[in-house]
Structure 1
Amino acid sequence: MSVDGADEAGWDLDPQDESEAVVETIGHQLRVWREDAGLRPAEFAKAMGYTGDLIYKIERGARIPRPEYLDKADEVLGADGKIAAMKQDVARARYPKKVRDLTRWEAEAVEVAAYENHNVNGLLQTEEYTRALFEMCRPAYSQDEVDRLVAARMTRHAIFDRTPAPMLTFVQEEVTLRRPLGGRMVLRRQLERMLEVGQLRNVEIQVMPTDREDHAGMNGPIQVLKFGDGSAVGHSQGQFGNRPASHPKDVRVLELRYGTIRAQALTPRESLAFIEKLRGET
């Protein structure tokens, strides 16, 4: 990788995240390996193909090294796979804690139910749609932060490859399918992605039309995940202190709301036809 590609070599670290200690330890170990090899930071940077500033940030734990950075460091320092083996620890520290928790829950869930009224649900998003969302945030994220957040969201899509497959149901507000975030072509490809996913036997996508006079989802997005042992966790903005809810009574409230929303929305068959129509208009 060239020096110009240095921005692609690591992610910014959230100082509030508990993974900070892990990243600092990895950075310290990398510095020890470099010093034992008798390389100064500038020499190591040149051999790696990255900037000295990036080397410094990674070694002091301010940046999370990407897997390809560790592979290159292993080669340059002759570590015989010992540095490359750190990739597993990096993978755990790579994403914000709330994303790691959500990914873990989704990996264990036998059923996921989600209602969205503002954006397309993260599990349904294309990479370019996700990138457009993060790039338009204010105050603006750095490019490293955008890359990190996009990568974190894309890892959640592994849920579609699970065996046995979990049951996944989604309800999307009509407006989320009409707003051309990122441009018309980004929206068109997003609609195509939803049509593709909606054909899976374990997935049902429904659309809530804007013209509904009675709507149980006015309190905001809902997500409920159920697990094989009968337990469940849910979340809804504005309820339960905006924290995940696991008490059966609280989860039941969210299930009732979600069930009513589904009953008020178009059926899955009608919804796919509606999305197909929108794609033709986009």
Structure 2
Amino acid sequence: MSVDEGVRNLKSEADEPGWEVDPDDDWGLAVIATVGRQLRLRREAVGMRAAEFGIAVGYGEDLVYKIEGGKRIPRPEYLDKADEVLDAGGLIAAMKDDVAKVRYPKKVRELAKLEERSVEIGVYECISINGLLQTPEHARALFEARQPAYSESEVERLVAARMARLSVLGRSPAPSLSFVQEEATLRRRVGGTMVWRQQLERLLEVGRMNHVTLQVMPTQSEAHPGLSGRIELLKFEDGTAVGRSDGAFNGRPTYEPKQLRILELRYGTIRAQALPPGESLALIERLLGET
């Protein structure tokens, strides 16, 4: 490949939607500004111009300047390549964890922190598949259906943030996870038949993990305490907990023991009325067989 061809193939902003910094996220702005400054100082220390460095990492000069100026979030691959090109000995690549968190909207980041600390998570969902169970394609279809519509870059950012939360499923030691999904959420073909099938397959995969309990509340069930909305409970190693329900306490998170007991009672009753885990997985397999 010639030099001119290489320059034409360098990545620009249009190639990476969704990597802008949220202007209202003070912590995120500070992190990206610090990372950008370190990248610029190291590049200048080895005597590389921005254009030369950009060619070495596969990015256009304008994008290099925006990353160094704290106006763009660098991708993990960018930091890895920069570490290699600048011979940083892993110091630049080590920034990836903090940089990755900047892509999460603030509310998602706060939720992810709680999930990372939890030893037990219990969720009842009545409208959609829980975020921890979603495939990227399913999540994208949900975000794209939103009105008023998200921009393409915001959709990409939200999908990336939701998928990053899935690390809790593979954490060691693993938390105890339980999910109760209304049957209707499994039958809604979000994203079309292929995306829907992949989502059902993902539910079976997660539902078979030894630290996960997945139950389905059948549509023909009698009235139960979840009819007023979603319930989420997270418990931590120190004995504290946090809970939230659409149908209680104005939908706000609560740490109050009396309110948590109410949510635990409701969630326990829901689990008792739902199909057992084995029957739930069998139902999902039947749904898969219907296509």
Normalising by structure 1, what TM-score? 0.87
**Structure 1 position 9, deviation (Å):** 8.5
Cα deviation 1:93-148 (Å, max 9, x = unaligned): 34233323322322332211101112111111122222322333334444443333
Picking from 10, 23, 43, the partner of 1:3 is: 10
**Structure 1 position 241, deviation (Å):** 4.3
Aligned to 2:281: 272
Matching of residues 46-195 of structure 1 within 5 Å: 46-195=55-204
The reply on whether 1:198 has 2:207 as its aligned counterpart is yes
> For 1:64, what is the secondary structure of its paired residue?
coil
C-alpha change, 1:186 and 1:126, in structure 2 (3 Å) is same
Specify the code of the residue in structure 1 equivalent to 2:73.
Answer: I
C-alpha change, 1:89 and 1:267, in structure 2 (3 Å) is closer
Deviates more, 1:243-252 or 1:195-204: 195-204
Picking from 23, 28, 45, the partner of 1:19 is: 28
Between the aligned partners of 2:19 and 2:178, the Cα distance in structure 1 is 32
Specify the code of the residue in structure 1 equivalent to 2:165.
Answer: R
Specify the code of the residue in structure 1 equivalent to 2:265.
Answer: L
Normalising by structure 2, what TM-score? 0.84
**Structure 1 position 39, deviation (Å):** 4.6
- For the aligned residues, what is the CA RMSD? 2.6
- Please, which runs of 5 or more residues in structure 1 have no aligned partner? none
Matched-pair contact (CA < 8 Å) for 1:10–1:65: no
Between the aligned partners of 2:235 and 2:279, the Cα distance in structure 1 is 26
How many matched pairs?
282
C-alpha change, 1:136 and 1:244, in structure 2 (3 Å) is same
Picking from 237, 253, 276, the partner of 1:244 is: 253
- Please, which runs of 5 or more residues in structure 2 have no aligned partner? 1-5
**Structure 1 position 171, deviation (Å):** 0.9
Between the aligned partners of 1:52 and 1:11, the Cα distance in structure 2 is 17
The reply on whether 1:219 has 2:228 as its aligned counterpart is yes
Between the aligned partners of 1:198 and 1:244, the Cα distance in structure 2 is 27
**Structure 1 position 166, deviation (Å):** 2.5
Aligned to 1:208: 217
Between the aligned partners of 1:165 and 1:45, the Cα distance in structure 2 is 41
The reply on whether 1:230 has 2:239 as its aligned counterpart is yes
Picking from 238, 241, 265, the partner of 1:256 is: 265
Matched-pair contact (CA < 8 Å) for 2:17–2:152: no
Matched-pair contact (CA < 8 Å) for 1:12–1:145: no
C-alpha change, 1:136 and 1:41, in structure 2 (3 Å) is farther
